[in-house]
Structure 1
Amino acid sequence: MTAKETYIRDVARLLSGFIASGNTTDLLGYLTAEGGLPGADPELTGAFTGVVREFAAADPDDRRLLWDLCIMLADIPPEGAPASDLHELLISCGIRGIGTLGSLSPACAEPALTRLAEASADPRQRIREAAGMGVRDILSRQRDTVIPELARWVEGGSWLTMRAAIMGIVEPDLLGEPDIPTAAFHLHRKVLIRIYTAKERQSEAFGALRATLGSTLALVIAALPGIGFEYLRQLATLDDPDIRWIVRENLRESGLQKRYPETVRHIRAQIG
């Protein structure tokens, strides 16, 4: 039995116990102990997310219990689980659980997105990453609800909320589906307009968004090379240091260099 299979088996058993008794002690103890092992975090969080979704989809009566559990975990404050603390894994599980529960229906998606928007601005990087992954989880099944909401995040949200929207929509599997590449392109364009018109660019949050855009735009261009490269050429003409940095970084992405070497060389020469 692989580590992943073991995690799924154990989490399923412990979640069943929680649903039957309402007691979280054994479940939380297991997640905290196992989460401290090297390399355990992604598989353990993934096992928790998958089992939560399976249980919630199978029995609507369990869905509220699982939602309340995930909210409890996600609401652990920074002082209760500072960066690099073992209890951060509990919060990641809660946030990913919120995302996967949100994927079950449009009615579930709306409150889940509200929670993920809050988590996207958390001071802890690990929690912000979980929020972006939670967006992906909902978007994979509820795109008609999620895409308009992400547009609102981009139009009026903070730098970190914008970052979560961008992270969520550039999942490679999603970019292979109809309509997602176009939505991702429009979100990136709106974010870059906000950057171009921004005066405040010194914050850590702005830097985090800029760093993310340094690779995500290439994924969108690879999915929509026609309008994508034309847009990149337009960006390359702008006299803006952050926009030009983003263009340069995306031109370094190996996927674009291998598939479109001449186009990449032309735009790189244009930007200098």
Structure 2
Amino acid sequence: MDLLSSGDAGDLAAYLAAESSLAGPRTNQDLTEAFAKAVREFAAADPEDRRILRDLCVELACISPEDAPTDDPHEFLSVCGVRGIAAMGTVSPGCVKAALRKLAESADDPRWRIRDAAAIGLKDLLARHRDVTVSELNGWVEGGSWSAMRAVAAGVADADVLREPDLAEAALRLHRKILIRVYTAGERESEDFHALRKTLGCTLSRVVAAIPSSGFEYLQQVSTLDDQEIRWIVRENLKDNHLAGHYPETVRHIQAQIGER
């Protein structure tokens, strides 16, 4: 990312938009990762550059949906900005909370690519500063929006995150809290709620597979709830090969509990 070191924000923005690949359905993921890596390396190498990098990433992340709508090449600038903010947060524990505040805003963005970038950013922060990140994510779940909870569920269910036993346990606790919010919710008709529901339909199985003893115990407990949304989430996760392919007898037992063979 030579353009990042040049300090010319205009040239950098033009390059990112031109190379975004948003003429097609997928963004240039290699470039996104390269941008985040470059931000992290520059910020770690020279603390004096951090303010400049932070301002650049925030400026990119804050490009409005009106100026960079979904599928417009300029949307890619916001994706990179969000990932850059998370990369800044990984540099030191003191940067994490500021990064999470910005990621929380991005998790509520109307553009799905920006929301996904926020979830990936959470994964990056969990990998490097787990304690402060998990603590902050509890707040997202307890008082946050459906979109914020969706970002949490997606971020903590990442395969790299779940390889760490402590993080896998934290992921299960966060999923428990999210499902309590779902169970007690009065509002279940919004698009954001259904996006969360869809995400929970696949993330819980990954968490359970990472810690099957406590994970299946929780699945069995929640499967007894007389709630159609919770039961749908349980059914969808039981279909996942993470569970059905490796724990078929346990899966069949829980399916019988919810009346499905």
Task: Determine whether 1:71 maps to 2:58.
Answer: yes
Cα distance in structure 1, aligned partners of 2:169 and 2:242 = 19
User: 1:7 — aligned with what?
Assistant: none
Q: How many residues end up aligned between the 2 structures? A: 257
User: 2:93 — aligned with what?
Assistant: 106
Query: What is the TM-score when the length of structure 2 is the normalising length?
Result: 0.96
Q: Identify the match of residue 89 of structure 1 among 53, 60, 76.
A: 76
Query: What is the TM-score when the length of structure 1 is the normalising length?
Result: 0.92
* Bigger shift: residues 68-77 or 38-47: 38-47
The aligned amino acid for 2:188 is R
> 5+ residue gaps in structure 2?
none
Task: Determine whether 1:214 maps to 2:231.
Answer: no
Cα distance in structure 1, aligned partners of 2:165 and 2:215 = 16
User: 2:4 — aligned with what?
Assistant: 15
The aligned amino acid for 1:17 is S
Counterparts in 2 of 1:38-187, with a 5 A limit? 38=24, 39-187=26-174
Deviation at 1:165, TM superposition (A): 1.2
The aligned amino acid for 2:249 is E
Task: Determine whether 1:250 maps to 2:237.
Answer: yes
The aligned amino acid for 2:17 is T
Change (3 A) 1:69 1:81: same
Deviation at 1:131, TM superposition (A): 0.6
Mapped contact 2:209–2:242 kept (Cα < 8 A):
yes
Identity fraction in percent: 57
Task: Determine whether 1:236 maps to 2:223.
Answer: yes
User: 1:26 — aligned with what?
Assistant: 11
Mapped contact 2:27–2:76 kept (Cα < 8 A):
no
The aligned amino acid for 2:190 is S
Q: Secondary structure at the match of 1:179?
A: helix
Deviation at 1:40, TM superposition (A): 4.9
Cα distance in structure 1, aligned partners of 2:154 and 2:73 = 24
Deviation at 1:181, TM superposition (A): 0.8
Tell me the alpha carbon deviations over residues 201-234 of structure 1, each in whole angstroms, 9 at most, x when there is no partner: 0000100110000011001101111111111111
Q: CA RMSD in A?
A: 1.1
Task: Determine whether 1:198 maps to 2:198.
Answer: no
Runs of 4+ displaced beyond 6 Å:
none
> 5+ residue gaps in structure 1?
1-11
Cα distance in structure 1, aligned partners of 2:27 and 2:66 = 23
